[in-house]
Structure 1
Amino acid sequence: MPGTRFPLEVQPRIPAELNRLSEVANDLVYSWDRSIRSLYHRLDRELWDGCGHNPKVFLRRVAQDRLDDAASDRSYMEDYRRVMAAYDAYREHRVHPELAEILDPSEDLIAYFCLEFGFHESFPIYSGGLGILAGDHCKAAGDLGLPFVAVGLLYQAGYFTQTIDGQGHQQVSYTRSHPHDLPVVPTLTESGQHLTLEIEFPGRTLRAQVWTAQAGHIKLYLLDTNIPGNTAQDRLITNQLYGGDREMRLQQELVLGVGGVRALRKLGVRPTVWHINEGHAAFQLLERCAYRMNEGMDYDSAMELVAAGTVFTTHTPVPAGHDIFDHHLMVKYLQPMASALGMDFDKLYALGLNSGDGFNMTSLALRCTRFHNGVSRVHGRVAAEMEQSIWPQIPHQENPIRHVTNGVHLQTFLAREWISLFDLRLDDWRNELLNEDYWQRLEDIPDYHYWSIHKALKQQLLQRVQDTLVAQQQRNGTSDAVVRRMTRHLVDDDNDVLVMGFARRFATYKRAGMLFSDPQRLARILGNAERPAIIVFAGKAHPSDHPGQQLIKLIHDYSVHPDFIGKIFLLEGYDMALARSMVTGVDVWLNTPEYPLEASGTSGQKAGLNGAVNLSVLDGWWDEGYTGDNGWGITPRDEHFGHEQRQQEEGNDLLNIIEHEVIPTYYQRDGSGYSHQWVTLSKASMKSTIPRFNAQRMVRDYVRDFYAPARDQRRKLEANGASLARELAAWKQRVRESWAGVRMELQVQPSAHLFHDDRLMLRVHGHLNGLAAGDVKLECLLGREVAGDEFKVEQIAELSAMGEENGATLFGIDLEAKLAGLQYYKLRMYPYNEAQSHRFEMGAMIWI
């Protein structure tokens, strides 16, 4: 039809009785409180879905009569008042008693920086796991009442929206969001002006404005460069998450790191601990250091102070997940920062050097922080080995990288039906999320009741799969006959089909295609009419990740193959809403990463807390979560297997488990209509996941093991005019100047044979090259040889300084060996100062 379409939005007037609907629409509590969201979708479910579950947009478009009817509906108003009372009670909640003994809200504040935050599908400033983890971290921090603020960027287009065409090709589109559509308000200065700040860019000054999102107890500050006065190109810096070229990524990270610090400073927010979630925000370290130098400190002392109060979390072993910038870009953008830090550019550039070319943001973060962690036990070990060049002389097993295993926000991902059941049968369960023993009470729930809830959730998922698939196929021109074949297992409420789910980012290391390592066998397994099984796939591939997009096409091609049609489903448009449906509705959650590249894998945790049974490679969180009775684990083959052989072996394991364990267990019916053995598995999954892998446990671990130590270390170095920070910096400089000339040797080689009551007499000459005996520690490590050449330490003893001898410092110990039989000992020396955050933070060590 010819002519221009002009938009016109007719908005209702919110009845006074319902005026708080607007209030909670601007509080991200709605992202995890289903009772709040229900107040909107009960008014108009179709409109709610059409608005992308966005309460602000919904309230602008809902019909006036729907609101008026609700205001006079006794049932709705009773629920409205109950929900608002619960919301008010939540907002009044104070810090968790256990954490109140560690953090003082009147003095402490954690500032959490991340490039993306995944709170809800209506707030599209996230792409996947990193962002959703950041959102869960914020939610749990609020639940626990922590003094906490978060800092990120406000994207206009966010991450892309995905469709899949009839040939299996991912199609990318972007939907722009205006701040008035999002749960944000302008951040105001004391004079009532919208807060803006400036950042020095090459040949120009960039301006950014700040928005505030309320999320229960915490605030999220988001920076936005789309403002008048910036160039057209600069206004696009905060347009798209993970879009543009490397220069735009560098610009985004400068806005986040440098601009984020300046925003907090302008607001008078003074964090006592800074948490950098992935390397994107690491430029904040340089900005904070420059600020300290403006107060009169030298660079080395200022950096000691900054590093002591900062926690850095690295999230992936995959090289593509670590930002690396070319030298010419760094010169272009960081030369002014080098001048502000009083150093030549090469010294600043060296902070980001690693084994490869370019400036590595992870290396910058590790060198300029003192508290570092991976996100699972396996990942902590892998990250320590990957980053050992930061501490070159330290065995990677002992370097400062530790781990906090990720957890997920239970209230966000636990199905409403389970919440209702817990409210009915489990007293005060919300306060028992960290109590493993408490969750044994799930055994008190009758199996038939438990299974009826799971079956209802599965039917909801299958209905969603059908609706999504029909719309997807009709748009792509698929015939009605083919669509009926595709959906034949989805439409019969009485058809109890085993549902397996695989949903995550389509990256090659996640091996979405491993299920098809033997297509004929898989077709036979899924094609058993007596024991039907289906697999639902969903996920996005980055627009630049062509191998990942090929995986999507591979799954699509199998889904329309005659052997798999109606058995394999590929859903488009993966977002948090679809993820919630899948993790609450599947029977089995599949995960097949290439070990050890799965840093955590939190989707399996979301499924597990809903009673889905995990079948996964023993990597990431599942290496810790698998107990032997709560799911199935695929043991990864070691490096002696070639890539193809490893893929084939693990693929065989996967199909063997599905064919010989999963399906028989699921269909082991005793005339009751369901498998009691399966319910036992499902309950074990829920019992083991809820208390151990929820986000409150994760945040508690950060508070106890990272935030509190970082706060204490910063306070110690900052006291008395930062005298200890200055002393530590000067000491490190002396060590760096001397260490290359430090050496040691045994005075006399002790006998290799002792009787059980003899002592090992060790005397070592230390040539300290100007250092004092108190500047070093000399240790003897005793242990056994295991697994070939590996040395397992069983005992560590420190040698004491015994004076000077022949121009060297004599160290000695008369050591009682606690082990019997054949053993070995080693001798090492490293610089030591009790003011350090970690004894090996200098990365220096020598051995005899």
Structure 2
Amino acid sequence: MLKLPQLYTYKVNEDYSTKVAYFSMEIAIHQALKTYSGGLGYLSGSHMRSAYDLGQNIIGVTMLWSYGYCDQGRDENRNLKIEFIRKYYYFLEDLETEVIVKINGHNVWVKAYLLNPETFGSAPVIFLSTDYDRNDYLSRTISHKLYDKDENARIAQETILGIGGVRVLEALGIERDIYHLNEGHALPLAFELYQKYKENLKKHIVFTTHTPELAGNETHNINKLYKLGFFADLNLNEVRNLTEITDNNFSLTVAALRIVKISNAVSALHEKVANKIWGKYKDISKIIYITNAQNRRFWVDAILLRYLDEHEDYELIARKKHLKKILFEEVADQTGKMFDPDILTIIWARRFVDYKRPDLLIRDFERFHNLVETKKVQIIWAGKPYPFDNGAINLFNHLQTISNNYSNVAVLVGYELKLSQMLKQGADIWLNTPRITHEASGTSGMSAAMNGAINFSINDGWIPEFLIDGVNGFMIPADASKPIEVQDEEDNKNMMDILEEKIIPLYYENQEDKWLTVMKNSMRDVNPVFDSGRMAHEYYTKLYDYDTEKQQNQEYIKEK
């Protein structure tokens, strides 16, 4: 049996002695470990890195996806080609531990692997897999693809993560005080733990909600969940009593909010939106906010950061141009286009999904064309559509087709950690265009700002806590009260007006080094408030060590 001290190659800090298991469907630790799709994975990866930096007593639990999320390439027409290529990870340690989880009444074996903290500088992470020869083919496919399109497969994945994760920890003799649900995917762990903790269950589970739209939170038929084994060994009466869900539409988020001792949204604005959405449900936990952040050690170019305060401005400018050149080598390699490091470079790069509006820049196409024809800007799009979302894939290909007509517009494939880092280090403007109130946090702009990219953004997610228009970035005014079509039209106009009248003149005229001042303000303001060391610390002080009974007593005294 693997004992707990062997998991930690670093000394655990006494300030973070509470023993935590952090469950996430995806964790993006390193380019070589492709077990993530996008923002949720990037966030959890930064959390694990900062837990290592701070010496926290936390262990990650996630799935080992044999085929990852998907691999992006191009077909013969340069359109997006989605492939599923099997991955192998020889740097993971086989823990020689197996547990059984029942899926649809069938025994499925779950094998565990360890990512050693020293491999990539992270908290220890346990990876779960069903894809080995002890299982039949159907059982093996459970851990094949992240976010499988089949509903039954998705439920099975969540069941393996939640129940299998708890059972693996127990089999390894790893005791935990707190189990952290990073989104509702691992909710089955609560039903497994109920048999151990009974009425004290709430004291041991916390929950982070990331999705600020009701429709984006998973709901399944409760009978289907029961049949597939989602509720461990509990019967439906026990599940209904525990979650207070009386109909057959079982919301993972509502159940999580009722089962845990405390929950958090991922930005100050998201806290308001989350409480508005979920506050109508009785007996939910308190929802506070802990704003997302990114790990500076991983994301930032150390030389650029050092030049911020310790060298002459011309050296900072020269380093930024060098980083642009590195990115432009990738652009040339993928597209055959030679970008110029002296030209203002605008980048839109994140998950391809409708509410993020990757096409807002081309909404008024004539205006977009005229802007690009001036040769005063270079534009890059990158991002991964969900591999089974034909609408998002078609939009990606539409942008690719448009880019074929311009030497200064590019669409890049292979949007994973390495390319994401290159884009953030090479961007002058980091464009963020979600429909307002739809973005819970949107952390990509944080790591971009760390690298001297100036945020040009809708005032959503983390942005209201950071951006001061004209001082450390540029704000796109938006009105959530208007119909979507009107929002899109007005947001496009406002964006293009600011780009043409403020941003482009400031970049090229740079009177009294004003562009450089905004860039330096952005770099200084984002550090350290949006470094994930702050976030990882707050998870301990505000969530893991939160005392529900003490808080209730304080609130009672305050009322009196």
Q: How far 1:375 moved relative to its partner?
A: 0.6
Aligned with residue 368 of structure 1, among 246, 251, 259: 259
C-alpha distance in 2 between matches for 1:405 and 1:352: 29
Matched, 1:496 2:362: no
Q: Which residue of structure 1 aligns with residue 483 of structure 2? A: 642
User: Structure 1's 574 and 588: CA in aligned 2 closer, same or farther, altered over 3 A?
Assistant: same
Deviations along 1:657-698, whole A, 9 cap, x unmatched? Answer: 11011100000156xxxx711111110010011211011011
SS at match of 1:111: strand
User: Structure 1's 341 and 145: CA in aligned 2 closer, same or farther, altered over 3 A?
Assistant: same
Q: Which residue of structure 2 aligns with residue 201 of structure 1? A: 103
Q: Which residue of structure 2 aligns with residue 405 of structure 1? A: 291
C-alpha distance in 1 between matches for 2:91 and 2:368: 46
Any conservation in 1 of the 2:100–2:109 contact (CA below 8 Å)?
A: yes
User: Structure 1's 703 and 349: CA in aligned 2 closer, same or farther, altered over 3 A?
Assistant: closer
Deviations along 1:448-481, whole A, 9 cap, x unmatched? Answer: 12111111111111121111223xxxxxxxxxxx
Q: Which residue of structure 1 aligns with residue 46 of structure 2? A: 136
**5+ residue gaps, structure 2:** 1-5
Deviations along 1:435-456, whole A, 9 cap, x unmatched? Answer: xxxxxxx456421121111111
1:632 is matched by which residue type in structure 2? F
SS at match of 2:180: strand
State how 1:242-391 maps to structure 2 within 5 Å: 242-292=147-197, 302=198, 304-319=199-214, 321-334=216-229, 337=232, 340-341=233-234, 344=237, 347=240, 351=244, 358-391=249-282
SS at match of 2:145: coil
Q: Which residue of structure 1 aligns with residue 112 of structure 2? A: 210
C-alpha distance in 1 between matches for 2:294 and 2:417: 13
Q: Which residue of structure 2 aligns with residue 699 of structure 1? A: 536
Q: Which residue of structure 2 aligns with residue 632 of structure 1? A: 474
C-alpha distance in 2 between matches for 1:353 and 1:231: 36
Any conservation in 1 of the 2:105–2:229 contact (CA below 8 Å)?
A: no
Any conservation in 1 of the 2:36–2:68 contact (CA below 8 Å)?
A: yes
User: Structure 1's 653 and 353: CA in aligned 2 closer, same or farther, altered over 3 A?
Assistant: farther
Aligned with residue 708 of structure 1, among 545, 548, 552: 545
Q: Which residue of structure 2 aligns with residue 688 of structure 1? A: 525
Q: Which residue of structure 1 aligns with residue 325 of structure 2? A: 459
State how 1:436-585 maps to structure 2 within 5 Å: 442=308, 445-470=311-336, 487-488=337-338, 490=339, 496-529=342-375, 532-561=376-405, 565-585=406-426
C-alpha distance in 2 between matches for 1:120 and 1:313: 23
Aligned with residue 81 of structure 2, among 157, 160, 171: 171
Deviations along 1:330-374, whole A, 9 cap, x unmatched? Answer: 23124874xx446636726964568xx622211221110021011
Q: Which residue of structure 1 aligns with residue 3 of structure 2? A: none
SS at match of 1:595: coil
User: Structure 1's 526 and 93: CA in aligned 2 closer, same or farther, altered over 3 A?
Assistant: farther
Q: Which residue of structure 2 aligns with residue 103 of structure 1? A: 16
User: Structure 1's 410 and 400: CA in aligned 2 closer, same or farther, altered over 3 A?
Assistant: same
User: Structure 1's 469 and 614: CA in aligned 2 closer, same or farther, altered over 3 A?
Assistant: same
User: Structure 1's 244 and 592: CA in aligned 2 closer, same or farther, altered over 3 A?
Assistant: closer
Matched, 1:122 2:32: yes
C-alpha distance in 1 between matches for 2:176 and 2:263: 18
Q: Which residue of structure 2 aligns with residue 480 of structure 1? A: none
C-alpha distance in 1 between matches for 2:53 and 2:160: 29
Q: Which residue of structure 2 aligns with residue 785 of structure 1? A: none
Deviations along 1:698-749, whole A, 9 cap, x unmatched? Answer: 111111111111xx559x99xxxxxxxxxx9xxxxxxxxxxxxxxxxxxxxx
1:620 is matched by which residue type in structure 2? G
SS at match of 2:124: strand
Identity %: 30
SS at match of 1:275: strand
State how 1:214-229 maps to structure 2 within 5 Å: 214-216=116-118, 218-229=123-134
User: Structure 1's 221 and 348: CA in aligned 2 closer, same or farther, altered over 3 A?
Assistant: farther
Any conservation in 1 of the 2:191–2:231 contact (CA below 8 Å)?
A: no
Any conservation in 1 of the 2:299–2:421 contact (CA below 8 Å)?
A: yes
C-alpha distance in 1 between matches for 2:243 and 2:309: 57
Any conservation in 1 of the 2:23–2:182 contact (CA below 8 Å)?
A: yes
Q: Which residue of structure 2 aligns with residue 744 of structure 1? A: none
User: Structure 1's 118 and 92: CA in aligned 2 closer, same or farther, altered over 3 A?
Assistant: closer
C-alpha distance in 1 between matches for 2:149 and 2:46: 27
State how 1:722-741 maps to structure 2 within 5 Å: none
Any conservation in 1 of the 2:12–2:57 contact (CA below 8 Å)?
A: no
Any conservation in 2 of the 1:377–1:621 contact (CA below 8 Å)?
A: yes
Q: How far 1:203 moved relative to its partner?
A: 3.3
Any conservation in 1 of the 2:403–2:411 contact (CA below 8 Å)?
A: yes
Matched, 1:113 2:23: yes
User: Structure 1's 653 and 315: CA in aligned 2 closer, same or farther, altered over 3 A?
Assistant: same
Any conservation in 2 of the 1:352–1:361 contact (CA below 8 Å)?
A: no
User: Structure 1's 415 and 347: CA in aligned 2 closer, same or farther, altered over 3 A?
Assistant: same
User: Structure 1's 266 and 91: CA in aligned 2 closer, same or farther, altered over 3 A?
Assistant: closer
Deviations along 1:511-534, whole A, 9 cap, x unmatched? Answer: 0111112221222223225xx211
The alignment of Structure 1 onto Structure 2 pairs a total of residues equal to 550
Any conservation in 2 of the 1:331–1:345 contact (CA below 8 Å)?
A: no
2:94 is matched by which residue type in structure 1? P
Q: How far 1:155 moved relative to its partner?
A: 1.4
SS at match of 1:228: coil
> What is the RMSD computed on CA atoms of the aligned residues?
2.7
C-alpha distance in 1 between matches for 2:230 and 2:480: 45
Q: Which residue of structure 2 aligns with residue 652 of structure 1? A: 493
Q: How far 1:615 moved relative to its partner?
A: 0.1
Any conservation in 1 of the 2:379–2:408 contact (CA below 8 Å)?
A: yes
C-alpha distance in 2 between matches for 1:230 and 1:152: 19
C-alpha distance in 2 between matches for 1:376 and 1:713: 22
User: Structure 1's 289 and 402: CA in aligned 2 closer, same or farther, altered over 3 A?
Assistant: same
User: Structure 1's 244 and 523: CA in aligned 2 closer, same or farther, altered over 3 A?
Assistant: closer
C-alpha distance in 2 between matches for 1:218 and 1:698: 15
Any conservation in 2 of the 1:167–1:553 contact (CA below 8 Å)?
A: no
Q: Which has the larger radius of gyration?
A: 1
State how 1:757-768 maps to structure 2 within 5 Å: none
SS at match of 2:110: strand
SS at match of 1:199: strand
Any conservation in 1 of the 2:10–2:52 contact (CA below 8 Å)?
A: no
Using structure 2 for the length normalisation, give the TM-score.
0.92
SS at match of 2:174: coil
2:361 is matched by which residue type in structure 1? L
State how 1:18-33 maps to structure 2 within 5 Å: none
C-alpha distance in 2 between matches for 1:376 and 1:669: 33
1:682 is matched by which residue type in structure 2? M
Any conservation in 1 of the 2:162–2:188 contact (CA below 8 Å)?
A: yes
Using structure 1 for the length normalisation, give the TM-score.
0.62
2:423 is matched by which residue type in structure 1? M
State how 1:610-625 maps to structure 2 within 5 Å: 610-625=451-466
C-alpha distance in 1 between matches for 2:302 and 2:79: 35
